[in-house]
Amino acid sequence: MAYKCVVFDFDGTLADTEEKAFNIYNELATKYKYSTVTMEELQHIKNLHVKEIKEIVDIPFYQFPRALRDGQKMMRKESNEIHAFAPDIHAFFTALRRETKHIGILTSNIKKTVSDFLITYDISHEIEFIMCSALMSKSKKIKKVLRKHDIKPSEMLYIGDEVRDIEACHKVGVDVAAVNWGYNTPLALEKCKPTFMIDNIWKVIDIVKTKNDH
């Protein structure tokens, strides 16, 4: 059975936003008076689940939604400076389009930031949809994509860089390819048993072709 739909996470998967997110976090820490994070601490955090991260960073629960919104707005202002991990991302999506019916992005970022990125790399025409999700509700959004396009879980492949991406896919029964260059480390990702681990975005096309040939 073929993969009829391939869905990508944005931050840490397609877009290299880690340094910007790190700087924005520390800027907001000063504003809201919670602890800043050093680069050394960041490397430790990359091994953790988002729930564990919340226990380390001392953002009061009631401040978290506001801080997240502020951070997204700050990221949006720099959206034209966000770089793709793969310099040949345009060629990649052109090739992927020939192998599957639907291509989309499911992200915790805001739509305008993602749209600006797609325009920068001239790939807007290859991406059928951008869907935004709260941090811990990706499984619900994945189900929404399945219903909208009338496809089975076995017909979708999700590509992400975080533990929560893998958990969301497992919950819904969707195959997930975890990238080794994103927010969580390969060690943290492997513990969650993704369907695939990849070290290059072009491996996605190999996975899709192999599935489609069976």
pTM (2 d.p.): 0.91
pLDDT score for 54: 67
Calpha distance 72→112 (Å, rounded): 10
Report residue 62's pLDDT band, with 50, 70 and 90 as the boundaries: low
pLDDT score for 44: 84
How many percent of the chain have pLDDT more than 70?
95
Rounded (10°) angle between helices 64-77 and 111-120: 20
pLDDT score for 94: 97
Quick one: average pLDDT of 160-167?
A: 95
